[in-house]
Structure 1
Amino acid sequence: MSVDFAAFTTSHDERPPAPVPVDWDLVEEWLGVRLPRDYKRLAERYGPVDLGEYFWIHVPCVEDGRFDYGEWLRETHREARIEARDLPAGERFAVHPEPGGLLAWGCTRGSDTLFWDTSVSADPDEWTVVVRHQGSVPGSGLLDWHAYDLTLTEYLRHAVRETWELPSPPGPLMGPVSGSVARTAFLPTAAPWTPPAEVPPRLTDAQRRVALETGAGLDALRLLSPPPERPYLGGGTWEGLFAELGTRLPGEYVRLMDLYGAGCWSEWLRFLTPLRTGERRFVTHVEEVLGAYRSARGRFPEDHPLTAWPEPGGFLPFANSIDADHLGWLTEGDDPDAWPLVVWPRHAPQGAPLGHGLVDTLVAWQRGTLVTHGLAGLDEEDDPLEFAGFEAWDDRAHW
């Protein structure tokens, strides 16, 4: 059936929708496919919208620091590709840019993702909707991956419905939601999106082999994550830190920090600023983490088997993840250079100490060959060089 989006929606009084110019030729060339006409009409008339305070329909646009259409597609498709592997082989969806792959166009406040199934037809106007539901309610009839014989506008038309509406919707759908159409709240000043320019490989084939296969230690790490020109460690000294701690720290850590300074590895693992003075100094962060660990150990001792520094052999953290995992040493014995590394994972049981030194651990993790709870892993189809990197900090950083 032919459905007009305007026929079942009304403009939000306080956040009326507003279009963002789109160069469809550039967008479709970048995607490698043409897009459905109903989607392009919606984008040209409304821009990025919030439908019924539940569905976010994303269009090619960018909001500085908040949203980039190309990045959203890349991240959404990567997650879908990983999650689809859990399906039986005969039910598994391909994901764009694979030919006939799912192509994302929206998401919901319930973290569901909405796609077109581009395998349905060579004509994009005939593409139908597939929804990746998160946390489907048992008995609702919604499948984790639910395919509908409905185009984008037809699907949204059935989501905007009355509970008594006849004929009934074609199978279980999310909703009902209102037909209110608002500018997406987190994209108040969305601007036109331009496809990213092609970037030449940053490493030669020979350098890539060293970074990912044959290299070791700092030779490999420098290629995976080039060090900054001006590493930031803070305004103090190593001797001052050692005096405050009552112990020196492993020499490998000191040499690594002198080379890289404080910062974030692979947008995941944050190394504390070691030589900062004042309230946000290294020891302050360590004490906060260990206070939380002791509290958790008091309530759930079976899940927190480590002792906490400065107890003998205690856990001494020096880095944390964006998901509140912590990396540190077990301070066993009098020689800090022999202290093993260990991760205190937030969402998993405590694991054994890691089997490598700090630099080799970073190399193996960024290559994707180290898999352990608390350190985000790579997918089998990821290019490690796309995810490896180091972002240096300055004194503005909290950590």
Structure 2
Amino acid sequence: MRSSSAAGELADLLGYPVGEGDRTFEWPAVEASLGGVALPSDYKTLVETFPRGRFQGAIRLIRPGDHGYPRTEYLGYFRSLLDHLSEMKLADQTACPYPIFPQPGGIIPWGERQQGDLVFWLPNGPDSDAWPTLVHDSERRIWQEVPLGVADLLLQAVKGKQPFYELDEEIPVKEAPLREKFWDELGVPNGVPSQSFDLLVNLLGARRAERSFDWADISEKTDVKFPADYINFMDQYGPGVFCDVRLCDPSSAGEHGFTDLVSRVRRAAQDGRGDRWSPPIYPDAGGLIPWGETEDGWICGWAPASSRPDEWGVVVSRGNMDSYSYRPDDSFSSFLVKHANPARIASVFTGRDPWSKPVVFSSFSDDA
């Protein structure tokens, strides 16, 4: 058994005594959900010892029952991500040079990195305690086998060592960011996101919203100065549904309104929270500012990492903020253009099928 000492050392180092956490997982049932695959013992120890959270703010353990699935289900939500990766591989074999579960010897995810990329086991033998880790870069061009199990890899990360030698990436070794500086302390490069409002007009055609917005009054009431492309969109089209994304009404406190969306996002985040690396939510200092949602529970918002709204990138989350994807290179408009692009292989919503229907916009007033 390779990593039992590493799991204990990691627990001691971070102040979580082994055996005093959640020991209610039904591992035989969990493993049965994987077709009888025996999970590594160090992984089970870590899941039973540590609460939900991110090690070094960079890697989160996948836990049975994640994202509202039964606690006897290991993959749950992540099964759709594996299905999506399999589809990508069918289109392009270089998307993943390894078999994918449930294929024999197929890779199985055990962790999720800061930007939503998965960390896998490579089941290359019958002894799961000897399985190495498999990681890839953000574009899936480089795949690297790391000869470490879960506990050994996390222990190296916590000690400030770099286990991902070939990816030109670093795991941050630092305290959790200050809440008001959350986004710019994540270690994600912040550039100026691309602006694509003209492309949106090309997609939807020119029109004028049925009512005007008093942006000075809205900013005074919300204490938010909104990005120019969002203002332009609302002035030209108004709030409504773009493809399958409901774009909130910035001036309304009722249904479809900004205030209502903020309230629901905050409630959902509180239900799934407990992780000091989970993002703050508006009106908390530096909090994510939501602007849209999908019917199946995805939240879209801005990361106010700058005092200039036109430099805000987009954040998408499954709803409870346990995991999220920060896209600093995308503005409100460029995100919507990418979402509507039928040529995209991967969705802007990680693990979700790309939008493949015609590009449509329906204002809320049209539905009234």
Per the shorter chain, which TM-score range? Answer: 0.3 to 0.5
Rg comparison, structure with higher value: 1
- TM-score, structure 2 length as denominator? 0.45
